[in-house]
Amino acid sequence: MIETARAAAPLPHRQASGAVQRPVVLVGLMGAGKTTVGRKLAQMLDLPFVDTDQEIEDASRMTISELFATYGEAEFRALEARVVARLLDDGPRIVATGGGAYMNEGTRRLLAERSITVWLKAELDVLMDRVMKKPTRPLLQTPDPRATLKALMDVRYPVYALADLHVPTRNVKREAVAREILDQLERHPHFKA
Ligand SMILES: Nc1ncnc2c1ncn2[C@@H]1O[C@H](COP(=O)(O)OP(=O)(O)OP(=O)(O)O)[C@@H](O)[C@H]1O
Ligand SMILES: O=C(O)C1=C[C@@H](O)[C@@H](O)[C@H](O)C1
Ligand SMILES: [Mg+2]
């Protein structure tokens, strides 16, 4: 279900509203803050916010874990790619992707043509702290989730690095991360000041 951000209270960047020419798509590993920061950024820009994991769960009426268990990862990835592609047809908005969405080459090509991509980059310790708060993520159901996350980092970080903007998340507040994205967006050619 597409969620529309409620009118935000006046903020320093409010004049930027409506100036994003393309969807802004957040990519990065589980726990990087794509959903949390994406929602904040959408409020700041007064744009709709969409989370692909949520879209998939709403459409299938199943949780991501149930989808993995019932249909397998490959089917989930195919559905995810279709959902991301469809969201690019709906005009400027903030899109939080699932952690693996950007690993699909076709998805990356589409996103490069039609969106502004933002990599939320985080260190392993920060990610571990965060993902352990909700330990249901299907890919981390392993004997050593930290080693699994590290292995995913090694494979994925060179790919996430292809995104247009790189924003470190560290242990800064979600508002500060959203503002850093906004600062970088304002310097991007598809953002009209
Ligand atoms: N900047 C931040 N500071 C503190 N906590 C944060 C920050 N960003 C996210 N979190 C917390 O980290 C957890 C994971 O965040 P979130 O769900 O937004 O990550 P995600 O990138 O969307 O992960 P996934 O790929 O699994 O959907 C949440 O509990 C969230 O509240
Ligand atoms: O990093 C990943 O591959 C995933 C991240 C989550 O957002 C979900 O999309 C799912 O758990 C897979
Ligand atoms: Mg998320």
Query: Could you tell me if 67 and 83 are in contact, meaning their C-beta atoms sit under 8 angstroms apart?
Result: no
Which residues have a Cβ under 8 Å from the Cβ of 154 and sit 6 or more positions away?
Answer: none
In a domain, 124, yes or no: yes
**Band (1; pLDDT cuts 50, 70, 90):** very low
Dist CA 128 CA 1 (whole Å)? 29
Residue 173 forms part of a structural domain: yes
Dist CA 66 CA 153 (whole Å): 24
In a domain, 193, yes or no: no
The finding on whether 51 has its CB within 6 A of some atom of ligand 2 is no
Classify residue 6: in a domain, yes or no: no
- The answer to whether residue 192 is domain-embedded is no
Quote the CA–CA distance of 165 and 97 in Å, as a whole number.
15
Q: What is the Cα–Cα distance from 14 to 156, expressed in whole angstroms?
A: 33
Looking up tokens 């989730």 gives: 145
Output the domain CATH number for residue 136: 3.40.50.300
Q: Span 94-104, mean pLDDT? A: 98
Q: According to DSSP H, which parts of the chain are helical?
A: 34-45, 52-60, 64-71, 73-87, 105-114, 124-131, 145-160, 174-186
In a domain, 5, yes or no: no
Percent over 70 (pLDDT), the chain: 90
For 50, the enclosing helix (H) or strand (E) is strand 49-51
Q: Which residue lies with its CA nearest to atom 5 of ligand 2?
A: 99
The total domain count for the chain is 1
Least confident segment among 1-5, 12-16, 47-51, 67-71 = 1-5
- Enclosing domain of residue 162: 14-186
Instruction: Give the 3-state secondary structure of residue 2.
Output: coil
Question: For the purposes of burial, counting CB atoms within 10 Å of the CB of 44, is it exposed (0-12), middle (13-18) or buried (19 or more)?
Answer: buried
Specify whether the backbone of 65 is left (phi greater than 0), alpha (psi in -120 to 50) or beta: alpha
Indicate the top mutation candidate among 55, 60, 64 to test ligand 2's pocket, ranked by most ligand atoms within 8 A of CB: 64
Q: What spacing in Å lies between the alpha carbon of 10 and ligand 3's midpoint?
A: 26
Give pLDDT tens digits for 23-35.
Answer: 999 999 999 999 9
Residue 142 lies in a domain: yes
> Residue 46 domain-assigned?
yes
More confident residue, 189 or 42: 42
Rounded Cα distance, 29 and 141, in Å:
16
What b-and-e string marks burial along 93-104, b requiring 16 or more CB atoms within 10 Å of the CB? Answer: bbbbbbbbbbbb
- 36 Cα–ligand 1 center, Å: 5
Question: Measuring from each residue's beta carbon to the nearest atom of ligand 1, which residues come in under 6 Å?
Answer: 28, 30-37, 53, 96, 98-99, 130, 133, 137, 169, 172-174, 177
